[in-house]
Structures are given as structure tokens and as C-alpha cells.
Amino acid sequence: MDFFILFTIIEIVAILIVISIHEFAHAWAANYLGDPTAKINGRLSLNPFAHLDLVGTLMFVFFKIGWGKPVPFNPNNLENPRKGSALIALAGPASNFFTAILLALPLRLLTTSNVEALMPVAYLVGAIFNFSIVLMAFNLLPIPPLDGSKILMLVLPKRMYQKYDQYLEGGMTYFVVFILVDYFMLGRMFGFSIIGTVIGTVFDFFKYLILLGT
């Protein structure tokens, strides 16, 4: 098989694994905190097809930044809706972080091995490791509907709750506007990307931090 095709297939498999872990973590956290909505909808699963978002997956394949299908949950089922929603949001990036930690040592061992037969395995582990950190970094951006926008509620002063709720209601509108401004105005006109810079910085920091221990 052509190496390009092989490694493309490996990358797609890695993307599906990373997205599945991320979305499963959201569903698990919601169910653990008392809301069975995700479980009822079949999202408490590591089956990639349960979490697949076509556009988000294609974005990952071509632009290395993407997302899975949002996990539904009902905040009214949570003991503390605001804190619970933030913890459910935090579960996704946290799962990617711990996945990268678990793969750090195997990745180091595989990449220092000279066994040619292990190259595809090393590439798969490396792809899962890298995509895990990228997905974590991307979702930590405080732009709705990304996880970072909800995680902020853990540290937000109560006096700002009402205004922040109005900000969150913007949902995909803010996200689309931000992407368009970042890519077409800043990227095309000035060769600068806020998303690229933030994700690149977070990626480099966490990759260095995680691999340092190995």
C-alpha cells in the first residue's frame, strides 16, 4: 500500500479515536452528575459513529482542527446546573490530556525503536497523542459553543453570570464570526491567526510538559 494512503488512513483512525474519547468523557460526566440524557441518546459509548460530526471530522482531516457531535445534556437534572455544566465541559479536554499522558511513554519507546514493522503503530500512537493535545487546546478557547466558554463558569464572579449567559446564547454565531475573521481577515490579510497561535502555543507547552516526564 502507498505510504501516503496508509498514513492518511491511520490519521483518520486516530481522529475518530480522539473525538470518541472526548465526547464519551462529556457523556460520562453528565451521567455521573445525574443527567442520563446522553446515555439515553446512545452517547455513553466509545463507538466513533455515535459521536461523528461530518463537518467536524473533515475539518480535522484537512485542517487538523475539528470537533465531534455535541453531547446533549439537561442542566435541570444536575444538582448545581452552572457548576455541573462547567464540569461536563471540562471532562472533554481533560480526557484528551490524560490520553496524551498515557501515550507519552509508549510513544517515546516506539519512536526510538528501529523496528520497521512498528512504524505504522508508532505513527498511530503519535497521531492520537498529537490530535489529543490539539483537540484539548482548541476546545479550551472561550468561544461558544466550545468547552472553554463553559469551563469559565467555574471561576466567573456571580455578578457576571447574567451577562455571560447572554454571551453563551450567541452559540455558533460567535464561533462562525470568529473563524471567518481569524481566517479571512487576519490570516489572509496579515498572515496571522489567533486560533493557530493559541493552539500552537498550548500544543508546544503541553507536548513538552508531557514528554518531559518520559
- Taking only the tens place, the pLDDT of each residue in 120-174 is 899 999 999 999 999 999 999 999 989 999 999 998 888 888 888 888 888 788 8
Query: What's the rounded mean pLDDT across residues 89-113?
Result: 93
Q: Does 69 have pLDDT greater than 70?
A: yes
Q: How far is CA 209 from the centre of its chain?
A: 18
Of 23, 79, 116, 169, which residue is the catalytic one? 23
pLDDT bin (cut points 50, 70, 90) of residue 1 is: low
Q: Does 90 have pLDDT greater than 80?
A: yes
Q: Look up 169 and say whether it is catalytic.
A: no
| Amino acid of residue 1 | M
pLDDT bin (cut points 50, 70, 90) of residue 36 is: very high
Q: What is the largest CA-CA distance in the chain?
A: 60
| Amino acid of residue 134 | V
pTM, two decimals, is 0.90
What angle in degrees, to the nearest 10, is found between the helix axes of 54-63 and 3-32?
A: 130
For residue 172, the model assigns a pLDDT of 80
Q: What percent of the chain has pLDDT over 90?
A: 50
